[in-house]
Structure 1
Amino acid sequence: MMNNMIQEMIDWIEAHLFEGFSLMKLSEAMGYSSYYCSFKFHQITGISIKRYMTLRKTYLSSISLSETDERIIEIAIKHGYSSQEAFSRAFKEIFGVTPNTFRLCPEPLQSYVKLTMNEARSYYMDISKKLRIEDLQKHVDEHFDHEVLNILNGQYMYEEFSSQQLMGKSDYAPFNEAMCVHDTVTTIFSDSFKQVRAAGHQVSLEHYEAITVAPLEKTLFSKKYQCIVLWFGEDMFCQMNLITVLAYLEQTAFKGTIYYHAVREQTYDVQETDITLGSYYDLYEAVLIDHRMPDVELMPVMYQGIKLYLELLKNDNDITKYIQTHQHLPHDEIVRNLLKLFPQYGLGDSQYLELIKATQIKD
């Protein structure tokens, strides 16, 4: 019942996204007070109405920037901003670059789709996306004579691509880690790294080596490649893993070509970006060891991922607030809700259960 009401609010907000928003008009349309609408929206979705609208408007504006020739001021006004300056401030706060910079070089960014409360989303790879991935792979193979390694974020993506036979004759391996949780050390895949990561995941060193290290020993650690293609999603979980892999390639002085294939895992849309090594090891240390925002220009999707990661490290964040507000619910229901409401984090069941237990212990 409550989800139906929130979905009606979302639908109304989406229909009036680019108008001068009025909480009073929303409350009149819903038949509840302004306070009740605002409070319930935040309580159930984990995000304020204002923040939801900002994320949606700014994300939709990024599509106009990359796909049309409209002037930036026209895009700003069309998407509900009072001026180009206000639009630029909002855009840079969310994506880390100005609208003009993004238009000149439209690198991957994290999408923010309309919230859906009442339906379980079913994600699948349609034939057009499969053909797009195959075309990208052929392009890589033609240039590098099959001396190519594809590294995919996680076992699920690895098995999906493997079953679809999307890699051709290239090598491929999964990166089975969750670098956004637990401690790490400076030398990636050193003995101390493996010990610290295994302890954090609460598994034996042998188990960690079998799951995470073994697939890479057969490929990345033992063969020389002209080209490495990194297939990682746009969420925070994937971005922390991507930073780690890029830092490792710098650590080992990899000299070949690197492509980042940004995968929208909901639809398998893919965007290819050339990667130049040089700053990723420093980035790894700044973010995953020192836990600070680096003072360097980043791809929007990586900037967004780092902001979410640093937010997650705080005791008081959107996820812990949601857990605290819904402690009366069974753990499995809280996990289902978190998976639906916070896809931008990319966390899985095990990470959310850890957060639930940690939050309840603090309380």
Structure 2
Amino acid sequence: MQMLHILNGEEMKKAFQLNGRVEGEPVIPFNEAMCAGETCETIFSEEFIKTRALTHGVSESDYRRITVEKLEAVFHEGRNHLKLWFDEDMFCQINLLTLLAWLDLIGYEGEVELCLTTQQFERLASCTLHVAGYHSMYKQVLINRAVPSEVSLPPLKKGMELYLHYKDADNELVRFIKDHPDLSEEKLVVLMIGTFRAYGLGDVQYLQLIRSVRASNQ
């Protein structure tokens, strides 16, 4: 059995390499922040790459290098077992949904195991997944902005609900920013990371949101 570990981002990859958790087995990061910006139906199509590169402010060639090319390891001969490592927060769960949707889209038939982790990358639980149906779910959530009626994974359902709330123009994050007009950007970012852990957003996302909200209030 040929195992491949797919981790949510470079930071998790660095942590795993540091503690030797999956030593001797191939590891690749899924470098995205799918809760930010717009997307389209066909994952990793030319339209998708153009849309996501624009979201991240990088060239299309850089997006391919940073995100798409890493996933080519999935297609290596005999690669029939994927182990996906993702945190329970919204940021990671929307990335997970996108990855599962892509595996569904390409007709991946190998074994897929999900390992849920804490924000410190400690393993919480694991389960085996079937990827069929996740592309439809991805379209419902990220394109049509609706929560599917049946979601078997509780963290994924919670992540979807938080994502749709996050996309609401008057969400709790926006209200929190408006309620703290006198705090500096740096202090507000730190405060929000600690207050809204379930979203899993980082300083880049919060800084963008703070500047956007404050600019619209001027």
Is the TM value for this pair above 0.5? Answer: yes
**1:169 has 2:18 as partner:** no
What corresponds to 1:196 in structure 2?
51
**1:208 has 2:208 as partner:** no
Q: How does 1:331-346 map to 2 (within 5 A)?
A: 331-346=185-200
Q: Structure 2 unaligned runs (5+)? A: none
Greater fraction strand: 2
Give the Cα–Cα distance (whole angstroms) in 1 for the partners of residues 191 and 124 of structure 2: 27
Q: Structure 1 unaligned runs (5+)? A: 1-143
Contact 2:12–2:121 under 8 Å retained in 1 = no
Give the Cα–Cα distance (whole angstroms) in 2 for the partners of residues 224 and 246 of structure 1: 19
**1:295 has 2:146 as partner:** no
Return the offset for 1:336: 0.4
Q: RMSD over aligned Cα, in angstroms? A: 1.3
2:49 counterpart letter in structure 1: K
For 1:202-252, what per-residue CA distance to the aligned partner results, in whole angstroms no more than 9, with x for missing partners? Answer: 1111222222123223x1244441100000000000000000010111111
What corresponds to 2:133 in structure 1?
279
Larger radius of gyration: 1
What corresponds to 2:8 in structure 1?
153
2:145 counterpart letter in structure 1: H
For 1:76-125, what per-residue CA distance to the aligned partner results, in whole angstroms no more than 9, with x for missing partners? Answer: xxxxxxxxxxxxxxxxxxxxxxxxxxxxxxxxxxxxxxxxxxxxxxxxxx
Give the Cα–Cα distance (whole angstroms) in 1 for the partners of residues 75 and 8 of structure 2: 17
1:216 counterpart letter in structure 2: L
1:207 counterpart letter in structure 2: D
**4+ runs deviating over 3 angstroms:** 221-224
Percent identity reads: 35
**1:234 has 2:105 as partner:** no
Aligned with 1:266 (options 95, 115, 120): 120
Return the offset for 1:270: 2.5
What corresponds to 2:163 in structure 1?
309
Give the Cα–Cα distance (whole angstroms) in 2 for the partners of residues 194 and 232 of structure 1: 22
Count of matched residue positions in the alignment of Structure 1 and Structure 2:
217
Contact 2:193–2:201 under 8 Å retained in 1 = yes
Give the Cα–Cα distance (whole angstroms) in 2 for the partners of residues 251 and 269 of structure 1: 28
Contact 2:17–2:23 under 8 Å retained in 1 = no
Give the Cα–Cα distance (whole angstroms) in 1 for the partners of residues 131 and 20 of structure 2: 29
1:154 counterpart letter in structure 2: G
2:202 counterpart letter in structure 1: G
What corresponds to 1:186 in structure 2?
41
Q: The residue matched to 1:329 in structure 2 has which SS?
A: coil
Q: The residue matched to 1:298 in structure 2 has which SS?
A: coil
TM (norm. structure 2) is 0.95
Give the Cα–Cα distance (whole angstroms) in 1 for the partners of residues 179 and 150 of structure 2: 37
